[in-house]
Amino acid sequence: MSTTFILSLLEGLWGTVVLSLLTFLFGGILGFLIAIARISPSRAVSKSAAVYIEVMQGLPLLVLMGLCFYGPGIFGYNAVTPLQAATFALTLYASAYLGEIWRGCLQSVAKPQWEAAECLGLTRWQRMRTVILPQALRIATPPTVGFMVQIVKNTSIASLVVGYAELSYNAKIINNSTFQPFLYFGIAALMYFAVCYPLSVQSRALERKLNVANR
């Protein structure tokens, strides 16, 4: 087992981590805005957010990534890098699912909690920040972390469409040179597990800390 190949897998793992973190950051921000828009009292805003979610969830991630990579070329912009295209596509994908997950969590907070906060004379944002979001956070933790794990694994699609050098891409390149698929894909699988398992453990720890089941 060559040190060079192991270093290549580690570089691919770093590429996976970078893409995942960028997706969590931008997808989380956009997803939160989508969730807030979905529960907006404005029917136009809520409907627009719903349409966005339906469109993004209706497109296969593979197709969406291809559109983000090759689409700008139609308008004469050909400088899109694989990382930019993959990040943009995964951000759109993640924001739609996170937006819907978090919308459900916000609306699962008991209606009397909304009414009590309103009776205190709080603005809509104050009600959301001080009363609703803390309760929704406890509900949202398990599905959010579960989706984050899926994002880590879905970064492998970036290598198929845009040639982004993440973990599975580098494992495939090494296999083409060594013809030892079980060894190097097995090492890649362990690396994916090393990233995803701590997320699941942290989710359970946070869930216990927030006492999701009993609050």
Domains of the chain: 3-214 (1.10.3720.10)
Q: How many residues does the chain have?
A: 215
DSSP H or E stretch at residue 179: none
**86 touches 185 (CB < 8 A):** no
User: What is the CA angle 174-175-177, rounded to 5?
Assistant: 70
* Of 130, 134, 126, residue with least CA distance to 106: 134
What is the reported pLDDT for 1?
65
Distance (Å) of CA 198 to CA 49, 66, 123: 33, 31, 38
Mean pLDDT value across residues 99-128 = 83
Mean pLDDT value across residues 70-83 = 86
pLDDT at 214 over 60: no
Mean pLDDT value across residues 25-47 = 95
Mean pLDDT value across residues 45-56 = 96
What's the mean pLDDT when you consider all of the chain? 89
pLDDT at 213 over 60: no
Dihedral angle over CA of 172, 177, 181, 184, nearest 10: -70
Confidence of residue 110 (pLDDT cuts 50, 70, 90): confident
* pTM, rounded to two decimals: 0.88
Mean pLDDT value across residues 137-143 = 86
What is the reported pLDDT for 211?
64
Confidence of residue 137 (pLDDT cuts 50, 70, 90): confident
pLDDT at 187 over 50: yes
Distance (Å) of CA 40 to CA 8, 63, 133: 47, 30, 15
Site of tokens 């090393």: 194
At 101, the amino acid letter reads: I
Dihedral angle over CA of 119, 124, 130, 136, nearest 10: 110
Crossing angle (nearest 10°) for helices 3-38 and 82-108: 40
CA distance 187 to 193: 10
Query: Which residue has better confidence, 81 or 122?
Result: 81
Q: What's the alpha-carbon Rg for the chain, to the nearest Å? A: 20
